[in-house]
Amino acid sequence: MNLKFVEAFVWVARLRSITRAAEKLCLTQSAVSNRIAALEDELGAELINRRNSRFRLSDAGVRFMDYAGKLLMIQHEMLSEFDTPERQAFTLRIGAIESVLHTWLIPVVDHLKRSSPRIHFELTIETSLNLVEQIRRGALDIVFSALPAQERGILNEALAPLEMVFIGATTLASPLGLDELLRHDFMTFQSGSHPHASLLDALHAAGAGDKHVHAISSISALALLAENGFGVATVPRQVAQRLMRDHRVRILETSLPLAPLPLHASYWGTPTRPVLDRTIREAVALARGCGTEGTAPSGAPSTLSAPAPSGPDALPAGLSASPGGSSG
């Protein structure tokens, strides 16, 4: 049995779409369809229910997922046992929110470049909601965002949160009492983001729920507006410390508490690509080790144990799929 065909089936089942699986595997849709058809011919059973407008595995497809996971796990163990190298360069597709870019993403990428000279990067800086959707669709390998990606087969790990602070022009006094703070315009990240929602909650708890909050999509724009006295902005403390070097802004100590910005690493397990799989887990270890310092540690283990999906449908090395789902 051709394990490339098995891998194609697993990704179709994971992503619930031949189109998305083709994008993930860098193949055409017809190539993926042909691989699935070849598997079905070999097994003598239909693996995908094609009589339903919504994607659904057949009963045989659900049963075959268990065997597919075992086959790919055996391949992974064999390649690891003989330390078989990937002869060609490989690509790691990383997505992150802007706060991560301004804190520890660059040191993590630099470390990965040194440890894996054959690696190529595709970086995406987006909002948490967009990043979660992209990794769910298989367009990214690993995401660092404020939200975990809730999708069977995706592994999630909570990272150290980022402390949020107010920044303002250097002409402003600090500390600021609540009454004095409320005289200024408020700015933070996009509407719907965690910092935006938590600032609204803090203002409501302080009896200032009617206070307008400007939603700004760029940290650079927040710094420029704060520097020129437009208002006060909330950003992670590590970001504020960097902004103080290039802008006439300062951290403002206030009596209004701000909730920290949570961070999560979400990633797909890739058992058929041992080198890529180890690199993804190394990236998670580096992100975990960054903590509150904003710099990657000097070294990190190249192989890590990742939490396995729980539940009766869990498969080895994060391989899992649901028989029902969205249309392709």
Sequence ranges of the domains in the chain: 3-83+311-318, 90-162+261-290, 164-252
**pLDDT tens track for 192-218:** 899 999 999 999 999 999 999 999 989
Fold (topology level) of 3-83+311-318: Arc Repressor Mutant, subunit A (1.10.10)
pLDDT digits over 103-150, tens only?
Answer: 999 999 999 998 887 899 999 999 999 999 999 888 899 999 999 998
Neighbouring CB atoms inside 10 A of 208's CB total 16
CATH T-level fold of 164-252: D-Maltodextrin-Binding Protein; domain 2 (3.40.190)
Q: Which two tokens stand for residue 6?
A: 């098995």
For residue 91, give the 3-state DSSP assignment.
Answer: strand
Asked if the domains 90-162+261-290 and 164-252 are classified in one and the same CATH topology, the answer is yes
Inter-residue contact 247 to 268 (CB < 8 Å): no
Q: Which CATH architecture group holds 90-162+261-290?
A: 3-Layer(aba) Sandwich (3.40)
**Cα-flanking dihedrals φ and ψ of residue 2, to 5°?**
-75, 115
Instruction: Find, among 110, 141, 158, the residue nearest to 277 by Cα.
Output: 141
Q: How far is residue 208's CA from residue 310's CA, in Å, rounded to a whole number?
A: 43
Taking residues 247-270, what's their average pLDDT?
Answer: 93
Q: For 10-44, write each residue's pLDDT tens digit.
A: 888 888 888 888 887 778 888 888 888 888 888 88
Q: How do residues 52-105 score in pLDDT, each as one tens digit?
A: 778 888 888 888 888 887 887 777 677 666 655 555 678 899 999 999 999 999
Is pLDDT above 90 for 318?
A: no
pLDDT, mean of residues 177-185 = 95
